[in-house]
């Protein structure tokens, strides 16, 4: 329903931001990282996700789209609700979480408050089932692919003026087994159409 909200920051505490958007105060639940660069009485934009439940309506906000995408992936895992997903994102940066998943480093997840060894192992297994191998190639914080050839293609397409989101969308569907020239040619064809 709401893709993002832009307004004046009225209150910013770890886990919660109140944003004045056209005279309406929105209470938005956020990971702790979303508050780091916000100042009271300054304008901010948060990427949001609205969840309707039988007994609750929750508005969740993130400092960037990639963090919101990771939140949406986390809440697909059985036993991980919105509050747990926010707690996970407060305890680990998105890029670190992806790296921990790629390396199957369950011990890193136990450093997050409320996550023990059993939960960490289960979370890794279930997240790997939810995420495709293509989604794992991208680091949410930087948005650049982790595969070297796709990373080079990403940089080349950026230098040609294409937007990051469009590049990511196209490269998710490209095989990293192709050579750089072929990948760029395929991507240009899709980005130009």
Mean pLDDT for the stretch of residues 4-22: 93
Task: Please determine, for residue 142, whether its predicted confidence score (pLDDT) is greater than 60.
Answer: no
Quote the pLDDT of residue 146: 66
> Per-residue pLDDT tens for 156-175?
888 888 887 788 778 877 77
Which phi and psi angles does 125 have, rounded to 5°?
A: -60, -50
Output the pTM of the full model.
0.67
Mean pLDDT for the stretch of residues 1-8: 87
The CATH number assigned to the domain with range 70-131 reads 1.10.150.20
Q: Which CATH number fits domain 148-192: 3.30.1330, 1.10.8, 3.90.550, 1.10.540?
A: 1.10.8
Can 70-131 and 148-192 be said to share one CATH topology? no
The ranges assigned to domains in the chain are: 4-62, 70-131, 148-192
Report how far apart, in Å, the C-alpha atoms of 163 and of each of 12, 91, 182 are. 30, 30, 20
In DSSP notation, 28-79 reads EE--GGGGTT--TTSEEEEEEEEEE-SS-EEEEEESSHHHHHHHHHHTTSTT
Architecture per CATH, 4-62: Beta Barrel (2.40)
Which phi and psi angles does 191 have, rounded to 5°?
A: -70, -30
> Per-residue pLDDT tens for 83-115?
989 999 998 887 788 778 878 888 998 898 888
> Per-residue pLDDT tens for 18-77?
999 999 999 999 998 888 878 899 999 999 999 988 888 899 999 888 788 889 888 888
Quote the pLDDT of residue 192: 78
């Amino acid at each position: 329903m709401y893709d993002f909200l832009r307004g004046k920051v009225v209150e910013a505490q770890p886990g919660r931001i109140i944003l004045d958007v056209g005279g309406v105060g929105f209470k938005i639940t956020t990971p702790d990282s979303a508050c780091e660069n916000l100042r009271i009485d300054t304008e901010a934009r948060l990427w949001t996700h609205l969840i309707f439940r039988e007994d609750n309506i929750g508005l969740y906000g993130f400092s960037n789209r990639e963090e919101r995408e990771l939140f949406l992936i986390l809440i697909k895992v059985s036993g991980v609700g919105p509050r747990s997903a926010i707690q996970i994102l407060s305890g680990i940066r998105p890029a670190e979480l992806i790296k921990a998943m790629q390396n199957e480093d369950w011990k890193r997840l136990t450093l997050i408050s409320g996550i023990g060894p059993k939960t960490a192992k289960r979370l890794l297994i279930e997240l790997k089932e939810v995420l495709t191998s293509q989604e794992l190639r991208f680091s949410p914080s930087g948005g650049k692919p982790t595969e070297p050839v796709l990373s080079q293609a990403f940089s080349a397409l950026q230098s040609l003026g294409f937007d990051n989101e469009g590049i990511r969308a196209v490269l998710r569907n490209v095989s990293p087994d192709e050579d750089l020239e072929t990948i760029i040619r395929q991507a240009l064809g899709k980005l130009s159409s």
